[in-house]
């Protein structure tokens, strides 16, 4: 009997060991061109560059929305968030049982738990302030972070309620002890180390609020970028570099605990860099060569730096076909040898990224802001259509015009008609937003 039990336990341990760990890393409001591997000569990001060198860099990588919380809702469900009404940012309303990721949606961590994973989330949540939306109630075994849509970076800084709430560890308030980006990095490295010898795989959702405003960076990082003008760009560069260093600490812990080879890592920004020139007098992010910015459905709104790394299975290089962050969930489930629900919009990328399949993972990708009748975008192959409400549709060939400078709608009326019809068909499976985004105030800037 004891021998039988021993072999049963051994078989379970072997099964777990064969499954990769999964880590999803999200930056917040990062400019498309503001990383070394994306071409930046101004902001060195050695740790992300190293990750990129060991990844497939998806050059046509997207998120499912052009601003914050809806993108996260899409990642958490593997479904277009428009299908369940999460098309806006929820306000900080702890009393609201509506403003958050609907409870009827099955989440990424819940499905990974069913596959035998320990699940953890660190950083920005922004998927509902009511206790029913807490990460520990949406599938995460462990949580540490800021539950709202942003936070002050230094302990004790003043600001609005959402940005100064205590940090939260598994439902209990906890004090902030250092520069927030560094603290999130420390917590993520600790999670990786803590679960290195569990005998079962883990999933970690690491969501930085950097480099989202308020523009705040430690003095030592600001000094490294003293040559950059204007001041806002300098502080932003320091924030990106500090995030890169925090990610470097997590990667070092993976190496130290010999988990790098069998860890599947995804890295994206939640949307493109914002254009804040109207509010701050300068646009301090760089989305070049893309047109548009956060909130826009031109490429600068939702085409983002996009990495997929799994050294044991995926060879480094570049991947040119369009992919979307909705794919993280079904890809992770496939890596875990677990069946995916049938209602997902994302697809398992593994056969495409390994070269087993050479066709495109997606026939068509969709985006919408403003609910039905708002602004739509659709991409099929290299053709991209943008339609703002009742305005005439714009059509671009992204293969030759990544900056969306030449509207070719008049030259290709048949393509326009087909893509407009595709939007109409897709919208039949969507609903109106369940809640509205709050009106934003001016962020405070501060450097220490």
Whether residues 221 and 153 share a domain: the answer is: yes
What is the reported pLDDT for 278?
Answer: 60
> Structure tokens of 333?
């489930």
Q: Is residue 267 over pLDDT 90?
A: yes
**391 contacts: CB under 8 Å, gap ≥ 6:** none
To the nearest whole number, what is the mean pLDDT of the chain?
Answer: 94
Whether residues 346 and 380 share a domain: the answer is: no
Q: Which residue has the tokens 């509902």?
A: 128
Q: What is the CATH number of the domain that holds 395?
A: 3.30.1120.10
Q: Which residue has the tokens 């994306």?
A: 38
Whether residues 100 and 240 share a domain: the answer is: yes
Question: CA nearest 435: which of 119, 48, 30, 127?
Answer: 127
What is the reported pLDDT for 225?
Answer: 97
Q: Is residue 354 over pLDDT 80?
A: yes
Identify the active-site residue in 47, 126, 134, 298: 126
Contact at 8 Å (CB) between 43 and 240? yes
Going edge to edge, which strands form the sheet with 383-388?
364-369, 375-380, 383-388, 394-397
Q: Is residue 115 over pLDDT 80?
A: yes
Residue 319 lies in a domain: yes
What is the reported pLDDT for 5?
Answer: 43
Going edge to edge, which strands form the sheet with 167-169?
172-174, 167-169, 142-146, 118-124, 202-207, 21-27, 263-269, 306-309, 56-58, 317-319
Whether residues 377 and 279 share a domain: the answer is: no
Q: Is 130 a catalytic residue?
A: no
**Residue 13 — pLDDT band, cuts 50, 70, 90?**
very low
What is the reported pLDDT for 188?
Answer: 98
> Structure tokens of 443?
């962020």
**Residue 275 — pLDDT band, cuts 50, 70, 90?**
confident
Report the alpha-carbon distance of residue 52 to residue 44 in Å, rounded.
Answer: 13
Whether residues 349 and 392 share a domain: the answer is: no
Whether residues 53 and 177 share a domain: the answer is: yes
Residue 447 lies in a domain: no
What is the reported pLDDT for 281?
Answer: 63
Length of the chain: 448
Element of type H or E holding 219? helix 219-224
**Residue 440 — pLDDT band, cuts 50, 70, 90?**
low
Residue 81 lies in a domain: yes
Q: Which residue has the tokens 């990224």?
A: 353
Q: Is residue 8 over pLDDT 70?
A: no
What is the reported pLDDT for 310?
Answer: 98
Q: Is residue 422 over pLDDT 90?
A: yes
- For residues 32-54, give the mean pLDDT: 98
> Structure tokens of 227?
């040559």
Residue 277 lies in a domain: yes
- For residues 151-156, give the mean pLDDT: 97
Whether residues 280 and 409 share a domain: the answer is: no
Whether residues 274 and 419 share a domain: the answer is: no
Whether residues 381 and 347 share a domain: the answer is: no
Q: Which residue has the tokens 């320091």?
A: 238
Whether residues 224 and 301 share a domain: the answer is: yes
- For residues 93-101, give the mean pLDDT: 98
Question: CA nearest 248: which of 56, 52, 46?
Answer: 46
Report the alpha-carbon distance of residue 109 to residue 336 in Å, rounded.
Answer: 12
Residue 74 lies in a domain: yes
Instruction: Indicate the range of 15-24, 83-92, 213-222, 359-368 predicted with least confidence.
Output: 15-24
Q: What is the CATH number of the domain that holds 85?
A: 3.40.720.10
Report the alpha-carbon distance of residue 126 to residue 68 in Å, rounded.
Answer: 8
- For residues 20-44, give the mean pLDDT: 98
> Structure tokens of 176?
């902030």
Rounded to 5 degrees, what are φ and ψ at 24? Answer: -110, 120
Report the alpha-carbon distance of residue 430 to residue 439 in Å, rounded.
Answer: 24
Residue 11 lies in a domain: no
Range of the domain at 89: 20-353
Q: Is residue 448 over pLDDT 60?
A: no
**Residue 280 — pLDDT band, cuts 50, 70, 90?**
low
Q: Is residue 445 over pLDDT 70?
A: no
Pairing of strands 172-174, 364-369: unpaired
Residue 418 lies in a domain: yes
Q: Is 58 a catalytic residue?
A: no
The string of DSSP letters for 73-111 reads: HHHHHTS-GGGTT--SPPPS-TT-SSSBS-TTSPPHHHH
Pairing of strands 167-169, 172-174: antiparallel
**Residue 439 — pLDDT band, cuts 50, 70, 90?**
confident
Whether residues 395 and 316 share a domain: the answer is: no
| Domain count of the fold of the chain | 2
**Residue 37 — pLDDT band, cuts 50, 70, 90?**
very high
Whether residues 259 and 387 share a domain: the answer is: no
Identify the active-site residue in 47, 68, 298, 362: 68
More confident position, 253 or 199:
253
What is the reported pLDDT for 10?
Answer: 41
Residue 32 lies in a domain: yes
Question: CA nearest 239: which of 266, 275, 214?
Answer: 214
Q: 182-236, pLDDT tens digit by residue?
A: 999 999 999 999 999 888 999 999 999 999 999 999 999 999 999 999 999 999 9
Element of type H or E holding 174? strand 172-174
């Amino acid at each position: 009997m004891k021998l039988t039990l021993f072999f049963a336990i051994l078989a379970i341990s072997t099964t777990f060991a064969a499954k990769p760990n999964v880590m999803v890393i999200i930056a917040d409001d990062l400019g498309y061109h503001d990383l070394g591997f994306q071409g930046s000569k101004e902001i060195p990001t050695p740790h992300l560059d190293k990750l990129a060198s060991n990844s497939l860099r998806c050059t046509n990588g997207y998120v499912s929305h052009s601003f914050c919380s809806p993108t996260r809702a899409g990642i958490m469900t593997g479904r277009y968030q428009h299908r369940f009404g999460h098309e806006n940012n929820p306000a900080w309303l702890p009393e609201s049982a509506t403003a958050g990721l609907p409870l009827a949606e099955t989440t990424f961590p819940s499905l990974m738990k069913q596959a035998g994973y320990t699940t953890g989330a660190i950083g920005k949540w922004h998927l509902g302030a009511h206790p029913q939306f807490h990460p520990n109630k949406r599938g995460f075994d462990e949580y540490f972070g800021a539950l709202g849509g942003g936070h002050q970076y230094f302990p004790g800084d003043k600001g609005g309620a959402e940005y100064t709430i205590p940090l939260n560890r598994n439902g209990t308030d906890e004090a902030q002890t250092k520069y927030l980006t560094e603290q999130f990095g420390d917590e993520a490295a600790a999670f990786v180390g803590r679960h290195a010898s569990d005998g079962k795989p883990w999933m970690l959702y690491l969501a930085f609020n950097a480099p989202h405003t308020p523009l705040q960076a430690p003095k030592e990082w600001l000094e490294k970028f003293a040559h950059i003008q204007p001041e806002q760009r300098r502080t932003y560069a320091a924030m990106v570099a500090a995030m890169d260093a925090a990610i470097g600490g997590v990667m070092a812990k993976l190496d130290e605990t010999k988990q790098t080879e069998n860890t599947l890592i995804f890295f994206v920004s939640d949307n493109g860099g914002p254009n804040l020139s109207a509010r701050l007098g300068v646009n301090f992010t760089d989305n070049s060569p893309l047109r548009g910015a956060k909130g826009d459905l031109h490429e600068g709104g939702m085409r983002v730096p996009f990495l997929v790394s799994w050294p044991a299975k995926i060879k480094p290089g570049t991947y040119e076909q369009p992919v979307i962050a909705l794919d993280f969930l079904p890809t992770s489930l496939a890596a875990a040898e677990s069946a995916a629900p049938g209602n997902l919009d994302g697809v398992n990328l593994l056969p495409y990224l390994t070269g087993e399949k050479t066709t495109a993972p997606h026939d068509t990708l969709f985006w919408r802001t403003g609910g039905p009748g708002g602004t739509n975008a659709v991409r099929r192959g290299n053709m991209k259509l943008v339609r703002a409400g009742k305005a005439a549709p714009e059509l671009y060939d992204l293969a030759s015009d990544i900056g969306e400078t030449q509207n070719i709608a008049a030259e290709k009326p048949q393509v326009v008609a087909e893509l407009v019809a595709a939007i109409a068909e897709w919208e039949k499976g969507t609903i109106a937003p369940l809640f509205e985004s709050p009106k934003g105030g001016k962020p405070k800037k501060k450097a220490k």
